[in-house]
Structure 1
Amino acid sequence: ILGNGLVLLLLFTVLTSAMAYLSMRPLLMAIGASEHTIGYAMDYLSVYLLGTLFVEVSVGLNTFINTQGRPGIAMCSVVIGALLNIGLDPLFIFVFGMGVKGAALATILSQACSAWWVLHFLTSRKATLRIERRYMRPDRRIIGATLALGVSPFIMASTESLVGFVLNSGLKVYGDIYISALAIMQSAMLAVSVPLTGFAQGFIPIVSYNYGHGNRERVKDCFKIVVRVMFSFNLLLVLFMILFPGLVASAFTSDERLIATVEHTLPVFLAGMTIFGLQRACQNMFVALGQAKVSVFIALLRKVILLVPLALLLPRWMGVMGVYAAEGVSDAAAAVCCTLIFIWQFPRILRKMAR
């Protein structure tokens, strides 16, 4: 699995990076770049794409270190990249005067160091599971099983990009400031989504292990902990952002007009996120329990089935606020639907375990 995973990682990284590089300008314009911002976007992306392989190796293979019960080593790879990036950004941007290209170069150099750290461990004698050439021969069964379970988180991530196309295209009509406000709000949401994603990567193997061993009580105990942590963490951070939108915006910009725009739109944008911790808990439990089809449907429900049509329809009656409201409505509706499906399916899964 490690060998085939590395092969897939390299293959998909090269293919997607090449596609993005060849269609860079139309892609950025479709996402929402304007004639005022396209130069900055192309400067950044043209450099960043050259180092995408480092990013994917450091992030993608890090999970294989966690799987071996070495979270400290896995954490070091993240810390190395983050600290180097923080240090190199001001050096390249201001001292060397490289501007946006400097920010991109700082990112890929720091990630290259993280990638070296990960590969060094996975090829050393310290690793329980090591990368070996003989295991890198593609195996159809392993690749098929990997893609089947991986398609749900892939859809979750890729539909975020699809939504970026739709929302930014809708906001482009109203001016660049609304696109900038959306960028700030989506960046602020990472403070919620990234820790929860990390938590999910931690509990999914534990649930899967106990599910495979038929330990129903441990699976139920895991779910109780998961839903409490994910729901409460999500709720508290989202409520803080809704109650103090100006404070959130000021962390990203000093532009008074942009801060005022975020203050006006952020409560609407994040309203549905208050209960979204339920979906994160239930959907990741479905992945842990091997319920790939249900997990895929839930991933499609939020972004493709609900958000995209709402983002196209609501602005007709609500104007620019309709674009932001589409996110809130789809998040709340998807969370409720996902929770109801889980309440219906989870007992059936447990009964199947008993049999």
Structure 2
Amino acid sequence: MAVSAQELGSQSIKKLLVKQAVPASVGILFLSLNILIDTIFVGQWIGSLAIAAVTVVLPITFLISSLGMAIGVGGGSVLSRALGAKNKEKAEHVFGNQIMMTLVLSLFFMFACMFFSTDILFLFGAKGSIMELAKAFFAPLIFSVPFLALCMMGNNIIRAEGKAKFAMVAMIIPAFFNIALDILFIKILGLGMFGAAMATTISYVMCFLFVLWFFVFKSELTLKAPHFKWNLPIVKEITGLSFVTFARQSVISILAIIVNHTLYSYGGESAITVYGIVSRMLMFALFPILGITQGFIPIAGYNYGADNFKRVNESILVSIKYAALLATVIYLFILFFASEIVSVFTHDLQVNDDTTVALRWVFAASPVIAIQLIGAAYFQAAGKARKALLLTLSKQGFFLIPLVIILPNFFGIFGVWVAFPIADVCSTLLTAYFLKKEMNTKLIQTHDGIL
């Protein structure tokens, strides 16, 4: 059963979190499985160097398409609070402006990447023998960006309406098509990197068609022509909160540039392959925690908009508790089965050994990240853009990038891997400080639990 917007303010928090987080987790699982299996296929059927090429290209396409995610998350916060305040007209204006913003920006950057593809690929780390494979993958994939951006934006609005299961299906569809088409284009037809890119592009188009179907036939929002006209106050409100998510994605892309160049300097193409596997596992293994975070946002946003701070407080505590427990289980699994996990991607023994070490260190602080993720998500759901921006950027921007630049000078490639858990701990401590302060002031009157 889908959750109506009104139920976000009435059902028990635990039940709501399960209803919202489980479909979100399953959707993220399939989205990450899509990328994970894509990496496995290119590694097994094309070669380990193809993993390095995918590692270079994907941050570029996701940076552009993350405009849609950013507009979706930021606008979703505005939309959730509008629905909580029973202002459906504003919610529909928000959605119409989100569509226009996403379409205009994604098309602009798509054409920019088409004209400057070689320079952009080099910037993101396509050096040596990686470049030609990266070009073959990038050229068809860039056409999928507007579709992916609209899917990411629409998916967040579907969740903001409380329709988490439809959002889950939207993320399952591209995974299904991409895996099937990978087998056809790479394994059967032998199209190599071009085939991998075409499979991904078609899968995003299919996702877009489903999202379009949802908003035409299933959405509570009924859009009319006036809703697509630019509304400056709404655009400013969306932009203020969207900037948080886009800034985070931008910092992640800057991190990818720095890590790729650093690893190439210390270990060549194979070191970038190692990072490719590790980064895919980061996306895949943490899917339940990310699902809880996604499920938490509409609950917190709706109740904050309705001035029901007791439920906001409870949603924070319950979400952190569940996410921390799951993160601990995930880390233990990684710790004991790292070698077996890595062997699925490649038969290169040196890459396997190096990746096993890297994987264990990168995930070392996973049990504490729940506080950082939920804390940053709370400030975004509450419309507090500055604190949300600060906390969202804290891991990659304030801690991880400087550590990746500094530590390899003393510890070589190992310095890159150990930078990840140190950054996790530092950003968690920072988030815990601000979240505890918020709960002791804004939300304390409504709940006895203190972080």
Is this a same-fold pair by TM over 0.5? yes
CA contact (8 A) 2:100 2:228 kept: yes
Identity %: 25
Q: Does 1:189 align with 2:267?
A: no
Once the two structures are TM-superposed, the CA of residue 267 in structure 1 deviates from its matched residue by: 2.1
Per-residue deviation, 1:352:
8.5
> Which of these residues, 226, 232, 256, is aligned with residue 140 of structure 1?
232
Pairwise CA distance, 1:343: 1.1
- Contact kept? 1:311, 1:326, Cα under 8 Å: yes
Contact 1:214-1:353 at 8 Å conserved across structures: no
- Counterpart among 28, 32, 53 of residue 146 in structure 2: 53
- 1:15 maps to which of 86, 95, 108: 108
CA distance in 2, matches of 1:353, 1:9: 38
String of CA shifts for 1:223-264, please: whole Å, max 9, x gaps: 121101222222221232133221221222222111111122
Query: C-alpha separation between the residues in 1 aligned to 2:365 and 2:116?
Result: 34
The answer as to 2:297 corresponding to 1:166 is no
Equivalent in the alignment of 2:203: 110
Cα displacement (A) at 1:353: 8.3
Read off the aligned partner of 2:114 and give its amino acid letter.
Answer: Y
Q: Please state how far the C-alpha of 1:334 moved relative to its aligned partner.
A: 0.9
1:192 and 1:237 in contact (8 A); partners too: yes
What SS does structure 1 have at the residue aligned with 2:100?
Answer: helix
Matched, 1:249 2:325: no
Structure 1 length-normalised TM: 0.93
**RMSD between superposed Cα atoms in Å:** 1.9
Structure 1 Cα separation of the partners of residues 168 and 398 of structure 2:
36
**Residues of 1 paired with 2:223 and 2:347: CA distance?**
47
Cα distance, 1:128 vs structure 2 = 1.9
> In structure 1, what is the equivalent of residue 314 of structure 2?
221
Q: Is the 8 A contact 2:313 2:439 kept in 1?
A: no
Q: Which residue of 1 aligns with 2:246?
A: 154
Q: TM-score, normalised by structure 2?
A: 0.74
The alpha-carbon distance between structure 1 residues 271 and 127, as it changes in their structure 2 partners (threshold 3 A), is closer
Contact 1:231–1:281, Cα closer than 8 Å, also in 2: no
| Pair 1:206 & 2:299 matched | yes
Letter in 2 for 1:40: L
Given that residues 230 and 280 in structure 1 are in contact (C-alpha distance below 8 angstroms), is that contact kept between their aligned partners in structure 2?
Answer: no
Q: Distance in 1 between matches of 2:438 and 2:165?
A: 36
Give the SS at the match of 2:252: helix
In the alignment, the residues of structure 1 paired with residue 162 and residue 401 of structure 2 have an alpha-carbon distance, to the nearest angstrom, of: 40
| Aligned pairs, number | 353
In structure 2, the gaps of 5 or more residues are: 1-93
Match in the other structure for 2:219: 127
Higher relative contact order (CA 8 A, sep 6+): 2
Residues 1:82 and 1:345: Cα distance change in structure 2 (over 3 Å): same
CA distance in 2, matches of 1:48, 1:17: 10
Q: Cα deviation per residue 1:262-292 (whole Å; 9 max; x = unaligned)?
A: 1222222222333112201111111122221
2:177 aligned with 1:84, yes or no? Answer: yes
Distance 2:438 2:238 in 1: 23
Cα distance in 1 for residues equivalent to 2:300 and 2:143: 37
What is aligned with 1:30? Answer: 123
SS in 2 for 1:271: coil
Contact 1:207 1:288 in 2 (8 A): yes
Matched-pair contact (CA < 8 Å) for 1:207–1:219: yes
CA offset digits 1:285-319 (Å, max 9, x no partner): 11122221111111222212212221111111111
Contact preservation (8 Å) 1:45, 1:104? yes
Counterpart Cα distance in 2 of 1:13 and 1:35: 29
SS at match of 2:296: helix
Correspondence for 1:65 among 150, 158, 164: 158
Instruction: Give every structure 1 segment of 4 or more consecutive aligned residues whose post-TM-superposition deviation is greater than 6 Å.
Output: none
Q: What letter matches 1:230 in structure 2?
A: A
For residues 208 and 227 of structure 2, the distance between their equivalents in structure 1, rounded to whole angstroms, comes to: 20
| 1: CA distance, partners of 2:140 / 2:158 | 29
The separation in 2 between residues aligned to 1:134 and 1:231, in whole angstroms, is 44
Q: CA deviation at 1:351?
A: 5.4
